[in-house]
Amino acid sequence: MVKMKLCKRAAAFAAAAALGFGLFSDSFTQPVIVTEAESESFDITSYAERLKEISEEQERLDSEIEAAEDDIKKETEKQKAILKKIESVNEKIEVLNSYMTQLEIEISANKRLIADKKQEIDKGIEDFKKRLRAMYLAGDESYTSVILNSSDFYDILMRMELVKRVADHDNKMIDDLIAAKEEYEAAQEKLEEQQAEYDKQYEELNNQKKELDELYDSSKEAKKQLQAQKKKLEEQNQAYLEERQQFEADLSGILKSSYGDSSDEIMREAAELSANSALESLHEYYENLIEEGEELSEEECQYNFAWPVPGHYYVSSGVGERWGSYHTGMDITGAKGTEIRASESGTVIRVNTSCEHDYGKEESCGCGGGYGNYIIIDHGNEFITLYGHLTSVDVEAGDTVKKGDLIGRMGSTGFSTGDHLHFEIRYQGYYLNPAAYVSIG
């Protein structure tokens, strides 16, 4: 499997997190929620429109701050404008985070497409080489030699039809190779555009982080609020850390701990290298079975993880440093009760249905290690998926589920500020970045 290293955003977020611009939870920016239930693909319009609106608001606030610079009487207005600008910058950082997570998903999906298309081309070229070799050894008969060597008119027609069909087959092989090459080149071009857009947004993220530093330095009131916010954040993170550690210990090694420091990113990257190697072998195994004509049952996990919330594609937060801790999954927003589907076939090994605190909150209610009502599915070969903050669960431990089966519904149980799905893919208990593995369709 082709994998892209997507860790620049996490590094930038780690620096921004030091400023304490929020409260640690599975939170998200509501004003940009996409509710296109009928859509079957990502739509960047909502991100672009919201970023434009925020930029225009920031320009207006800059004008207010500049107008108050030389007027002592307007100092109060200036401080208010600075605080509003800080709020605006934080929101823009949130939207940039969401947008970049979507780009990660699209880049990873396109890389998989390119790898598959290259494999298809390589196989097609090898097959055509074998065909040319066979033609050379057998000798290529022309229509004239076919006619001259025929015993009667019926034999002539049969031989000509055979030659025609062979020629049509050869032409189709060539046409298919040309089409595959064009698709490969188009995917490569699209990948370059996606990567350029990702780099552009990464630069903007760093610019916003720098502006946040400057805003806090320019306002005593803002510094005061920041110190209070940091204190509250540290207290919440410590409480949540202890809760999560106990939760992971209770699950007997199914989930490996994360502690919100720089080693988390290193640990994730190491886990992904191992996961990629395992997936490459598994995909090759199933491809060989299919080529040999074996039919695979729907219950068989083929390790092609699907989007768990069909029709809802707004990702409010991805994997990485966030507000002084480490976010271990992908948050997908939607309305309470939205259907959650199994990303791959497997066996349900853990569920929790005891959390009754199904509403937005700024601290953990203590249920399910912060996940609230959740489901964990074992896909075999040390891969699991986790679905958190559910309002209801439709499966039980021990159930066998097929890819795409309804397993629960979206909610806001556990440590969650609003309705969304917290989705994780883990290998050997360690978290992976779902953006690098999940696909739509």
Tens-digit pLDDT profile for residues 180-224? 888 888 888 988 988 888 888 888 888 888 888 888 777 776 666
Alpha-carbon span 30 to 418, nearest angstrom? 9
The pLDDT, as a whole number, for residue 11 is: 47
Looking only at the bridges linking them, the beta strands covering 390-393 and 400-401 are: unpaired
Alpha-carbon span 115 to 145, nearest angstrom? 44
The set of residues, in sequence order, having a beta carbon less than 8 Å from that of 95 and lying 6+ positions away, is: 29, 32, 47, 50, 51, 54
The pLDDT, as a whole number, for residue 153 is: 59
CB distance 237 to 321 below 8 Å: no
SS (H, E, C) 68-124: CCCCHHHHHHHHHHHHHHHHHHHHHHHHHHHHHHHHHHHHHHHHHHHHHHHHHHHHH
pTM score: 0.68
Q: What is the pLDDT along the chain (441 residues), one digit of tens a residue?
A: 444 444 455 444 444 444 443 333 454 444 334 444 434 456 667 777 877 887 877 777 777 777 666 565 566 777 778 778 888 888 888 888 888 888 888 888 888 889 888 888 888 888 877 777 766 665 655 555 655 666 665 666 666 666 677 677 778 888 888 888 888 888 889 889 888 888 888 888 888 888 888 887 777 766 666 666 666 656 666 666 666 666 766 676 677 765 445 566 677 788 889 999 999 999 999 988 988 888 888 889 999 999 999 999 888 888 876 655 677 899 999 999 999 999 999 999 999 999 999 999 888 888 888 899 999 999 999 999 999 999 999 999 999 999 999 999 999 999 898 999 999 999 998 889 998 899 876
The pLDDT, as a whole number, for residue 45 is: 75
Alpha-carbon span 345 to 50, nearest angstrom? 37
Q: Degrees (nearest 5) of the Cα angle 96, 101, 106?
A: 125
Alpha-carbon span 236 to 364, nearest angstrom? 8
The pLDDT, as a whole number, for residue 215 is: 81
The pLDDT, as a whole number, for residue 51 is: 78
Alpha-carbon span 150 to 137, nearest angstrom? 21
3-state secondary structure of 207: helix
Closest C-alpha among 257, 240, 346 to residue 301: 346
Q: How far is CA 177 from CA 79, 130, 180, in A?
A: 64, 15, 5
CB distance 313 to 307 below 8 Å: yes
User: How many CB atoms neighbour CB 18 within 10 A?
Assistant: 14
The pLDDT, as a whole number, for residue 18 is: 42
Q: How far is CA 192 from CA 107, 115, 206, 207, 430, in A?
A: 9, 15, 21, 23, 30
Closest C-alpha among 390, 436, 114 to residue 271: 436
Spell out the long-range contacts of 114-120 with Cβ–Cβ below 8 A and sequence spacing 24 or more: 114/2, 114/184, 114/187, 114/188, 114/191, 115/1, 115/2, 117/180, 117/183, 117/184, 117/187, 118/184, 120/180
CB distance 156 to 147 below 8 Å: yes
CB distance 330 to 100 below 8 Å: no
What is the token pair recorded at 49? 């429109």
Alpha-carbon span 119 to 280, nearest angstrom? 13
